[in-house]
Amino acid sequence: MSFNPKTDDEFKYRGAPDLIHVPDGRRAEFAGWLAKQLSSRMRAQARVNGKSYWDSATQFLCAGCYMVVGFDLLVTLARWNNQPINELCDSMIDAFTKLKAHGQLETTEEIQVILDPCEESNA
C-alpha cells in the first residue's frame, strides 16, 4: 500500500502490509471479546478481594475502572506502536463526539483517523 498523506488521510492504516490488522468485519467482535476478558478479570479480582460469588457475578462493573483501563490500553498501544499521541487523541475525540451525537451506545468497525499535523509536515 502506498500512502499519500495529502489524499489518503483517513486511510493511513487501511491495508498497510507492514502492520498487523484485525480482519475487516471482525473488529466489533474482537472488541467484545476483549470486553469479556476485562469483565472476567475484574469479577475474578472481586472474588479474591472478598466479594461473594453472587455479588461478583451480578454487580455492575465500576465504569471509572473500565474507562481508565480502556484509556490506558489505547495510550499503551499507541506508545508501543509509535503512533503520534495527537493522532490518537484527535481520532478518539472525533469518534466519541460522533457517538455522543447519535445518542446511543453502539460499536463500530472503523473510525476516521485524524493525522497529527506535525507528522504530516514530516512526510
- Give residue 47's domain range: 9-122
Mind listing the pLDDT tens digit of every residue in the chain (123 residues)?
333 344 445 557 877 889 999 999 999 999 999 999 999 999 999 999 999 999 999 999 999 999 999 999 999 999 999 999 999 999 999 999 988 888 776 778 778 888 877 765 544
Q: How far is CA 109 from CA 26, 29, 70, 103, 106, in A?
A: 7, 9, 17, 18, 10
The SS3 call for residue 53 is helix
Residue 2 lies inside a defined structural domain of this protein: no
For 23: left if phi > 0, alpha if psi spans -120 to 50, otherwise beta; the answer is beta
Give the position of cell 498487523: 20
**What pLDDT shows up at residue 71?**
97
Query: How many angstroms separate the CA atoms of 4 and 20, rounded?
Result: 20
Residue 108 lies inside a defined structural domain of this protein: yes
**Is the pTM of the predicted complex or chain greater than 0.85?**
no
Provide the domain count of the chain. 1
Q: Using the 8-state DSSP alphabet, how is residue 83 labeled?
A: -
Cβ(10)–Cβ(113) under 8 Å? yes
Residue 4 lies inside a defined structural domain of this protein: no
**What pLDDT shows up at residue 122?**
47
Cβ(123)–Cβ(21) under 8 Å? no
Residue 92 lies inside a defined structural domain of this protein: yes
